[in-house]
Structure 1
Amino acid sequence: MTLRFLALARVLVLLCLPASSLAAERPARIVVDPGHGGAQEGATSPTGLLEKEVSLQIAHRVRAHLEKQLGAQVLMTRDEDQSMPLPERVEFANKQRPDLFLSIHCNAMPTKRTRARVQGIETYFLSANASNATARAAADRENAEAPAAREARGDSTLAFILHDLARTEAHQDSSRLAYAIHQKLIAATGGSDRGVLQAPFYVLNGVEAPAVLIEVGYISHPEEGARLGRAEHQEKLAIAITEGVRAFLAEVRKRDAPKPPKVAAPATP
């Protein structure tokens, strides 16, 4: 392996590092991803409320609070009801060099019995293996729109390796971000705490920044599904997500702040 190749590899890896360490030097740059859109409607409530509509409404509120409360620069993968394939969402996010990536969704159960019973909030970060059957089912449902093969994303071997390096660097911060947001959501809404979980969500795979997917509630549940359509509940969710981001960024800034140089003790005579 030549020195020239090694130098190039170092530069490429540095370019793929998560941008969270930059958050101390400028306003945070955050990509908000409203799930589904266009022909991809997502889950449906018992009264016909669509996940694609709820996720977009909440995403707009999250953007407004992030901008107002944190002075963040917020970009959205979609700003209206339009189709946007999952690979394009990842590509869009990485082009922005964000500090954080937030994907907003509503959950659902498949059977009449479980739809009537299961409700609550789940927050996810990426893992090759799902935490449990619930996490696997959520990932399978959200990944239904994904290409069947990795080749559809156009990955070369080198690009895949670099993406993997970037994901490794961001993984620990993704966990911290998920816990920070989840705690705020449960405290603000009083929703059922279904935990911080890990699963192989396509939209999180390849994002070169701390990234989480937030299932803000079960739209399939009669009561929770109705709440998700109400403006006051959406505001609670948006404010809680913003406060979770605030807590995470404060932790990152404290961790990444330059350490004062150690002063040598005066020599004893």
Structure 2
Amino acid sequence: MWLRTLVSLGLLGLAPAASASGRAPRIVIDPGHGGSKTGALGAGEQLEKGLVLQIALQLRDRLEEETGAQVFLTREKDALVQLPDRVTFANGKRPDLFMSIHANSMPTRKLRERVEGIETYFLSAAASGAGARATADRENADAPRAQSVQNDSTLNFILNDLVRMDAHAGSSRLAYAIHQRLIASTGASDRGVLQAPFFVLTGVEAPAVLIEVGYISHPQEGARLARAEYQEKLVSAIASGVKDFLKDLSKRDAPSGADSETPQVASPTSP
């Protein structure tokens, strides 16, 4: 059962990660899949695992340059990293936010030709709809003893309780900040900010989102996702959303009349 697995792995510490006073932001980026877990397959045998790694590596460089953040990747090459290990790695870095990068897919030819667009998720026990649940089920397929969350009433209780926790509220704000930038920058179909029970988000002790950057299975969108100029738009938009979130976080946590002790976005300095 999921609950037994989560408890044994120590993945139920759901309080937000503490920030060290005055330090640079810490960000963990999780490129989905890897190794033998190829993820979705696109036109021309484009693989999700390779696409999301390309985006994650560019995003790391952009965030380090524009925010002064310490950015960590759960994988930096085509390697298999189990979902629980990704969560453990992320929590070990005590991040201010976590982003898991994926590309979506549809199972039938008819749907593959029709469905496209960007979705951004944060954690919830109840999926936003059938499509969100299908996406979560697919991404959770690599989880240990993966099964439908709705059949585990104890885990449902724990996840439903997230609505009262800061990490969950922060995840919602992060999701909207990133999603708005992505749609504005790319002009992609807006499939919304959604909620679903993703294993990789369950135990992260910080605001955490999962971004489906598009449908790799769609003929036109899949081709766009492979292009360097479109990846640049995605990277720039996600980075802008992160900066928006960090600025908002700084304002929320700053004591009245005092400088904030939360991580700050670094200002560019003259040479």
TM-score of the aligned structures, taking structure 1 as reference length: 0.83
SS in 2 for 1:66: helix
Matches within 5 A, 1:113-192: 113-148=110-145, 168-192=165-189
Measure the CA separation in 2 of the matches of 1:247 and 1:82: 32
> What is the aligned partner in structure 1 of residue 269 from structure 2?
none
SS in 1 for 2:203: coil
Q: Which amino acid aligns with 1:214?
A: I
The alpha-carbon deviation at position 118 of structure 1 amounts to: 0.3
**Does residue 204 of structure 1 match 2:201?**
yes
The alpha-carbon deviation at position 119 of structure 1 amounts to: 0.2
Instruction: Describe the shift of the 1:57–1:149 C-alpha distance in structure 2 as closer, same or farther (beyond 3 A).
Output: closer
The alpha-carbon deviation at position 258 of structure 1 amounts to: 1.1
| 1:204-252 per-position Cα deviation (integer Å, ceiling 9, x unaligned) | 0010000000000000000000111111111110110000000001001
Instruction: Describe the shift of the 1:117–1:101 C-alpha distance in structure 2 as closer, same or farther (beyond 3 A).
Output: same
| 1:165-207 per-position Cα deviation (integer Å, ceiling 9, x unaligned) | 7993300000000000000000000000000000000000010
Going by fraction, where is helix more abundant, 1 or 2? 1
SS in 2 for 1:102: strand
Match of 2:254 among 257, 262, 266: 257
> What is the aligned partner in structure 2 of residue 10 from structure 1?
none
| 1:117-176 per-position Cα deviation (integer Å, ceiling 9, x unaligned) | 0000000000001000110010001001001169xxxxxx9xxx8xx7799330000000
Q: Which amino acid aligns with 1:33?
A: D
SS in 1 for 2:81: coil
Identity %: 65
Unaligned 5+ residue runs, structure 2? 1-12, 148-153, 259-271
> What is the aligned partner in structure 1 of residue 16 from structure 2?
18
Measure the CA separation in 2 of the matches of 1:174 and 1:120: 21
The alpha-carbon deviation at position 25 of structure 1 amounts to: 2.3
| 1:36-78 per-position Cα deviation (integer Å, ceiling 9, x unaligned) | 0000000011210000000000000110110001111000000
Measure the CA separation in 2 of the matches of 1:23 and 1:124: 27
TM-score of the aligned structures, taking structure 2 as reference length: 0.83
SS in 2 for 1:84: coil
The alpha-carbon deviation at position 260 of structure 1 amounts to: 2.9
Unaligned 5+ residue runs, structure 1? 1-14, 151-156, 262-269
Instruction: Describe the shift of the 1:127–1:166 C-alpha distance in structure 2 as closer, same or farther (beyond 3 A).
Output: closer
Measure the CA separation in 2 of the matches of 1:58 and 1:95: 23
Measure the CA separation in 1 of the matches of 2:209 and 2:63: 16
The alpha-carbon deviation at position 97 of structure 1 amounts to: 0.5
The alpha-carbon deviation at position 27 of structure 1 amounts to: 1.1
Match of 2:64 among 63, 67, 70: 67
- Larger Cα-atom Rg: 1
User: Is the 1:23–1:253 contact (alpha carbons within 8 Å) kept by the matching residues of 2?
Assistant: no
- How many corresponding residue pairs? 236
Measure the CA separation in 2 of the matches of 1:220 and 1:167: 37
Match of 2:43 among 29, 41, 46: 46
SS in 1 for 2:135: helix
Measure the CA separation in 1 of the matches of 2:233 and 2:21: 27
The alpha-carbon deviation at position 26 of structure 1 amounts to: 1.8
Q: Which amino acid aligns with 1:182?
A: H
